[in-house]
Amino acid sequence: MSDTIIFTDLDETLLERVTFAFEPAHETLVRLRERGTPVVFCTSKTRTETEHFRQATGNSHPFIVENGGGIYLPKGYFNETPPDAQETGSYLRIAMGEEYGRILDGMKCLKSKTQNSILGFNDLSPEEVAADTGLSVELARFAKMREFDEPFKFIRREAEFCSQIQDWTNEIRLQLTQGGRYYHLHGEFDKGQAVRRLIRMYRKRFGRIETIGLGDSPNDLQMLLQVDHPVAVAHADGSHDTRLCTALPRLLKIADSGPRGWARGILQLVG
């Protein structure tokens, strides 16, 4: 067991924006696996989507889905079973926030407030999600299998409503975060709370650990605030998210984007 734990976003961090490929990071992932260094996916993706990329990358560690809404622990990974964990298949599932039905009720309210100017994944067919995201239809089906969080976008009048939508979200006691592609409506949780919970579990099991976090967008901020070494990969144009840069004075900014930047960040920190 390594004394370093890596928490990472997927979209536009470990995965390419358009192709969702991770090949530039493949050798680094292999080296980390050989060293026994856990790589914990912390993503806006669903459980089923994340399982797809865990299998593709040979990952066997816990993972965090839907912007912190749920933590999945492989059974037997930790010595103790958290009291709020529920068995589901080969995992223990910890629900950190509101379930999906409550989120869809909130979406109805926001649609009314914005005069039907927003569109969520629940409104779209798998084929429409695939066309909008660049995912395959199979992965788009996985992306619609949501538990805690609804991605949505403005289809018109964003400039008119974006300054008000946070207040409306607060009124219905839900939260709003902004990712690289979509806004996300969810309950009173974020990536940071889930990461903090997992860090406690790792420390209880293994003692002293160092933590690294890698991301690229505002919805990664709370995750990056929890780790010892926050890293931001660049956007495709070479820039870095200004909100991350402002909030994280110790932020390591990598000039490359996507998995190439991811691998370079890991190389700088752990070799």
Q: pLDDT tens digits for 65-106?
A: 998 999 999 999 999 999 999 999 999 999 998 889 999 999
Cβ neighbours of residue 100 under 8 Å, at least 6 residues apart? Answer: 146, 147, 148, 149, 150
Question: Is this prediction's pTM over 0.85?
Answer: yes
Phi/psi at 210 (nearest 5 deg)?
-105, 140
pLDDT in tens, 155-170: 999 888 888 999 999 9
CA pair distance 4, 210, nearest whole angstrom: 5
16-52 residues labelled b (16+ CB within 10 A) or e (exposed) = bbeebebebbeebbeebbeeebbbbbbbbbbbbbbbb
Who's near 112: CB < 8 A, 6+ residues apart?
Answer: none
Residues of the chain with CATH 3.40.50.1000: 4-96+190-270
3-class DSSP state of 171: helix
Pick the closest to residue 76 from 57, 63, 96, 62 (CA basis).
62
Q: What is the C-alpha separation between 189 and 95, in angstroms, rounded?
A: 10
What is the assigned CATH class of domain 100-186? alpha beta
pLDDT of residue 1: 45
Whats the size of the chain, residue-wise? 271
Query: What is the enclosing helix (H) or strand (E) of 95?
Result: strand 91-95
| Residue 84 among the catalytic residues | no
The 8 Å CB, 24+ separation contacts for 113-116 are 113/161, 113/164, 113/165, 113/168, 114/154, 114/157, 114/161, 114/165, 115/157
Residue 55's pLDDT is what?
96
Collect the ranges in the chain with pLDDT lower than 70.
1-2
Task: Output the pLDDT for position 2.
Answer: 63
Interatomic CA distance for residues 201 and 263, integer angstroms: 26
Sign for the pseudo-dihedral over CA of 17, 23, 29, 31: negative
CATH number for region 4-96+190-270: 3.40.50.1000
Query: Which listed residue (9, 11, 220, 241) is catalytic?
Result: 9
User: What does residue 27 show for φ and ψ, rounded to 5 degrees?
Assistant: -60, -40
Strands (E), 23-90: 39-42, 63-65, 70-74, 86-88
Q: Which helix (H) or strand (E) holds 254?
A: strand 252-257
What's the token pair of residue 29?
């992932």
**Comma-separated ranges of CATH 3.30.980.20 domains in the chain:** 100-186
